């Protein structure tokens, strides 16, 4: 799926969660904190987008550098 589509969907889900909290506020603090965790994940994902890998891959030394030349006499 396209990264843009995923970001838009996460943004819409975040907006729906916030509007739900405004329309029907949580009964106690624990419920409110419980709703903040998924909201934070959705907002972060909507802003940053999906990451392919947290740790960058190392380039293969055989493909990145040309073959060494033999010594000339």
Alpha-carbon gap, residue 8 to 1, rounded angstroms: 12
- Cα four-point dihedral sign 59, 60, 64, 69: positive
Residue 12 lies in a domain: yes
Give which of 52, 53, 51, 39 is closest to 10, Cα–Cα: 39
Residue 5 lies in a domain: yes
Residue 40 lies in a domain: yes
Threshold 0.75, pTM exceeds:
no
Residue 67 lies in a domain: no
Residue 22 lies in a domain: yes
22 is in which domain, residue-wise?
Answer: 1-46
Residue 3 lies in a domain: yes
Residue 8 lies in a domain: yes
Phi and psi at residue 40, to the nearest 5°: -65, -40
Number of domain units in the chain: 1
Residue 31 lies in a domain: yes
pLDDT tens-digit readout, 12-38:
999 999 898 889 888 888 888 888 888
pLDDT score recorded for residue 16: 92
pLDDT score recorded for residue 63: 57
């Amino acid at each position: 799926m396209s990264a843009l589509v995923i970001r838009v969907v996460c943004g819409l889900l975040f907006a729906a969660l916030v509007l739900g909290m405004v329309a029907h506020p949580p009964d106690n603090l624990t419920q409110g904190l419980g709703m903040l965790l998924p909201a934070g994940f959705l907002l972060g994902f909507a802003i940053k987008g999906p990451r392919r890998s947290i740790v960058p891959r190392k380039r293969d030394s055989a493909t990145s550098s040309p073959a060494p030349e033999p010594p000339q006499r």
